[in-house]
Amino acid sequence: MLRTKLEQALEQLSLSLSEAQVQALLAYLSLMQKWNQTYNLTAIRDPEEMLVKHIIDSLAVVPYVDSERLIDVGTGGGLPGVVLAIVFPERQIDLLDSNHKKTRFLVQVKGVLGLQNTQVIHSRVEQYQPESLYDGVISRAFASIEDMVHWTQHLLQPDGVWWAMKGQKEAEDLTQLHSVKVESVMPLTVPFLAAERTLIKLKRAD
């Protein structure tokens, strides 16, 4: 049932994944369910709802995100970072969170799924100093874009981009942003989810 729904979603999103990638997404979902019983990774308990609101929701940004070296800030249980790492094995997708339980879970996910293209970083975002800067920062956790930019700008190359995942009910006044400019606002259609989602791409203002 879960596999069928995932395959239908991939078809609707025009994403072509290998059998190994589909298996990895389902294994990740299974790990999330298992660890959620004791670690409280997400308020969602139903596996099907978890699939739609977490995995498929994260897959919806795949056609747009083109950063080669990306960090998912405030990744929590690994969303969207783990999903992106599975879909893009040739890219570096790092996962940062300050919650020890969540990063322990992510270390387990990395090991079980054999994700060679990600590192799990247990740190507060403002304290993390990467050896080399990223060309993309993504998050679906920040309350506001202004906060996201403020707390993560030291992680990003001068010409890097921010990818902000937002629900429509979280609509912000993007005209009030001063240090960044909005490159594009992409409405997302998430299969099996009757809620509006948006991906906002931002760059530093000239």
* Enclosing domain of residue 88: 2-204
| CATH number reported for the structural domain that contains residue 154 in this entry | 3.40.50.150
Query: Could you give the number of structural domains in the chain?
Result: 1
CA–CA dist 48, 3 (Å, integer): 10
Residue 148 has pLDDT above 60, yes or no: yes
CB 45 within 8 A of CB 53: no
CA–CA dist 96, 154 (Å, integer): 14
Tokens 């995100």 found at: 65
CB 73 within 8 A of CB 148: yes
Entry pTM: 0.95
- Per-residue pLDDT of 7-23, as tens digits, reads 999 999 999 999 999 99
- Per-residue pLDDT of 23-42, as tens digits, reads 999 999 999 999 998 887 88
CB 120 within 8 A of CB 92: no
